[in-house]
A and B are shown apart, each in its own frame.
Chain A
Amino acid sequence: MDGPQDEFAIRVRDLVVGFGRQTVLDHLSLDVRRGEILGLVGASGGGKSVLMRTIIGLIPRRSGTIEVMGQSASGHGRSAATAWGILFQQGALFSSLTVRQNVQFPLRENLVLSQELMDEIAIAKLEMVGLRAEDADKYPAELSGGMTKRVALARALALDPPILFLDEPTSGLDPIAAGDFDVLIKTLQRTLELTVFMVTHDLASLTTVCDRVAALADGKIVAIGPMRELLQSEHPWVRAYFHGKRSQMLQHEMR
């Protein structure tokens, strides 16, 4: 079954997305390989989140094709829930449900299984993302930022989707929590053999966890490749992004 088309988890071809007169993504093409962690960088308001939301079907596209796991993606139906898990920037946990119920929600809606097994799976997922069984009965309002992200990750992984979308997973976390979260994503990606599509500004996560990095500028992917290759890129925006003062400091430590 490992044909050439199976090499890619997500294939985006000639994607055009715009609002009103404004074109945000202009004939954008991007391939995400199976089992890799792809980081997407771009200017704030440059269309990173729009690209992610278009792939998962939240924003309609003007033209172009999107294939997810070899199948043309069309909107977001029930089947989408098993195809991918999404970690929203603010977690997007349902505030009226406990942590346990949040993680069980996708299971309950998509599968028929006993309450006992559902409880065990929920706890298993929570422990896999580094939380304890005691946290299961808390409400989202009682959680810290890092815990919220972990619960949201557990919920995104509830159905063991092959693809995981992360929207700025480390934003709003302190460097220690962000580092732990990066390690967690890397570990889970290895154990569950996930393909991870990560929108991020965090240069540390780009260098430590991402296999490849794609740079989005002017509505197109202007550079894609491992971090080392991107650092060599001649594109002016990519140079400005990775060779600005803030970036220089981080890269210094990398060498």
Chain B
Amino acid sequence: MNHEPLLLATPSGDELKLRPEGPWTAANVVTLETLSRSVGADVDRSRAVTLDMSGVSALDTLGAWVLEKLSRRAALSGRSAEFVGVADHFSGLMDEVRQVNRHTPAPAAAPNPVLARLGDLGKSTVGAREDITIFLQMLGALFMAVAGVLRRPRSLRLTSLVYQLYRIGWQAIPIVALITFLIGAIIAQQGFFHFRRFGAESYTVDMVGILVLRELGVLIVAIMVAGRSGSAYTAELGSMKMREEIDALSTMGLDPVDVLILPRVAALVIALPILTFIGSIAALYGGGLVAQFYGDMGPAIYIARLHEAISVTHFEVGILKAPFMALVIGIVACSEGLRVKGSAESLGRQTTTSVVKSIFLVIVLDGLFAVFFASIGM
């Protein structure tokens, strides 16, 4: 028995006789492609081609197709091509293969590159408008839900709210505290290192205090929460959307905004100021440790300097921003979750979009707040 496929070509006058032998199967595809290519020129030269199939020991779709392609190559230029000696148990497959690949779909016209670029620009403009609409719709839906809760306080999903608070507030404390502690320590170290050159070391405390309380504490915590909890919201709601759980809720007469989204966003709005407070304290503590061990400034002096440098206003500026940032993160995360379509890929894409968009919006919002607070003199 043959274990390597062969293709014997015997030209006789204008006629070419091809005799494939051995196993013409997918396992030998490399040999099959070489064989069929090697006789290509002969096929083009002859007037008639006969394929004698009697020597084929095994045949599958791939082998049958390679042979069929040879016969089509001959038939294409109006010459005759025929199969002879097809064994009974291969004839069904050969007939099947003769039917396939008969028509090629019209290739999609290549778009004009300039038009395509313009089209993309237009699409993203429309997309941006759609994003804003979705954001405002979600904000409106949330206000309606809050109004509903104010009218009937019992309709608040308290269990769900407490559970979300536990997940995104309580469980986030260790990592938030650790990161902000490190950030505070790094800022203090940089301050001491650079201010030392012109003897302004004591102002390091002012810098750490103001920077952490006004800007960095809330910003770092908001970015971490967007990455940690915002992505979780998007993925949860997205997979619920995929499994039609959200549709099931709607058909039971329940509003998904009331049941799923309000507790989540409310938990974020409550948790983010608390986490910001914890984070700011951890950062000041980190700064204090660096002051003691790197800047030779004892805790008593550090606290006294801090007392002089900062006021409640700085703290207020930071903490006031937190609920708004939480609202933005929550709305973006939930609305991106609801935009997930059927596939696993779309879930991944929407989760990425959610995190990127909410971090971007948090930073933009922080900038707007900076302008606002500066103009009201806070």
Contact = CB atoms under 8 A, between A and B. Distances in A.
Contacts of B27: 82, 111
Interface string B82-93: 000000010011
B13 interface: no
B97 to A, nearest CB: 7
Interface string A104-119: 0001000111100100
Contacts of B105: 132-134, 136
B344 A95 contact: yes
A124 interface: yes
A89 B343 CA distance: 16
Given A128-B96, A132-B105, 13 more contacts: A82-B27, A95-B343, A95-B345, A111-B27, A112-B30, A114-B33, A120-B101, A128-B61, A128-B100, A133-B101, A160-B25, A160-B26, A191-B92
A127 B65 CA distance: 13
Contact of B101 (A114, A127, A159): A127
A150 B51 CA distance: 32
B15 interface: no
Contacts of A120: 65, 69, 101
B62 interface: yes
Given A121-B62, A140-B343, A192-B93, A133 B104 contact: yes
B66 interface: yes
Nearest to A97: B345
A128 B96 CA distance: 7
A128 to B, nearest CB: 6
Contacts of B104: 133
Contacts of B151: none
Contacts of A139: 343
A117 B345 CA distance: 29
7 contacts: A111-B27, A123-B100, A124-B97, A191-B93, A191-B96, A192-B93, A193-B89
B99 interface: yes
A85 to B, nearest CB: 12
Nearest to B342: A141
A125 interface: yes
Q: Which of B33, B69, B101 has the most CB of A within 10 A?
A: B101
Contact of B92 (A111, A136, A190): A190
A124 B29 contact: no
Interface string B343-377: 11110000000000000000000000000000000
A96 interface: yes
A124 B101 contact: yes
Interface in A167-221: 190-193
Contacts of A112: 29-30
A82 B27 CA distance: 9
B45 to A, nearest CB: 22
B201 interface: no
B33 A117 contact: yes
Nearest to A133: B105
Interface residues of A, number: 30
Main secondary structure of the interface of A (DSSP, over half): helix
Given A140-B343, A159-B26, A192-B93, A127 B100 contact: yes
Given A124-B101, A190-B92, A117 B26 contact: no
Interface of A: 82, 95-96, 107, 111-114, 117, 120-121, 123-125, 127-128, 132-134, 136, 139-141, 157, 159-160, 190-193
Interface string B139-176: 00000000000000000000000000000000000000
B60 interface: yes
Contacts of B96: 128, 191
A160 B346 CA distance: 32
A132 B61 CA distance: 17
Given A95-B343, A139-B343, A141-B342, A123 B26 contact: no
Contacts of A117: 29, 33, 62, 65-66
Interface in B14-36: 25-27, 29-30, 33
Contacts of A190: 92
B152 to A, nearest CB: 40
Nearest to B102: A127
B173 to A, nearest CB: 37
A160 B62 contact: yes
Contacts of A124: 61, 65, 97, 100-101
Contacts of A193: 89
Nearest to B94: A191
A112 B345 CA distance: 28
A164 B368 CA distance: 63
Contacts of A141: 341-343, 346
Contacts of B341: 141
Contacts of B30: 111-113
Contacts of A132: 105
Contacts of A107: 26
Contacts of A123: 100-101
Contact of B61 (A95, A113, A121, A134): A121
A85 B120 CA distance: 41
B197 interface: no
B347 to A, nearest CB: 10
Interface string B283-314: 00000000000000000000000000000000
B58 to A, nearest CB: 10
Contacts of A160: 25-26, 60-62
Nearest to A192: B93
B99 A113 contact: no
Interface in B42-99: 60-62, 65-66, 69, 89, 92-93, 95-97, 99
A96 B60 CA distance: 29
Given A117-B66, A124-B65, A190-B92, A111 B103 contact: no
